[in-house]
Amino acid sequence: MKQSLMLILERARTIMHNALTHAINETALPAYLIEGILLDLLAEVRAQKAAEFSAEYEEALKLYEETLKLIHPPEPSEQDQTVQERTPTESEE
């Protein structure tokens, strides 16, 4: 059975909170040092989020461009038409 997103998020939060509490108890570091570690971890999460968004955007853009090509195939450019006009036919050879 699928879990709701709310339950998944709450479970993840609980796991992270327990890990943080364990790390604080194990190291006995003061809060101002823990804060620096958390800020560094948050920066890593934000960088990962940006990378994920970027990858998703690139994939969506690629799909969009492929869909446009199917709906509206590109017309030959003037340069392509000029090349076709200059190509000798069998009778000219």
Tell me if 62 is assigned to some domain: yes
Q: Using alpha carbons, list the distances in angstroms from residue 67 to 59, 74, 78.
A: 12, 12, 24
Buried b / exposed e along 21-48 (16+ C-beta atoms within 10 A): eeeeeeeeeeeeeeeeeeeeeeeeeeee
68 in any annotated domain: yes
pLDDT tens per residue, range 57-74: 999 999 999 998 888 887
Q: So what's the pLDDT on residue 88?
A: 61
Quote the domain boundaries for residue 23. Answer: 5-74
In a domain, 93, yes or no: no
User: Angle at the Cα of 59 (from 52 to 74), degrees rounded to 5?
Assistant: 155
Confirm whether 83 is domain-assigned.
no
pTM over 0.75: no
Q: Could you tell me if residue 85 is inside a domain?
A: no
The pLDDT tens digits of the residues spanning 16-53 come to 999 999 999 999 999 999 999 999 999 999 999 999 99
Structural domains in the chain (count): 1
91 in helix, strand or coil?
A: coil
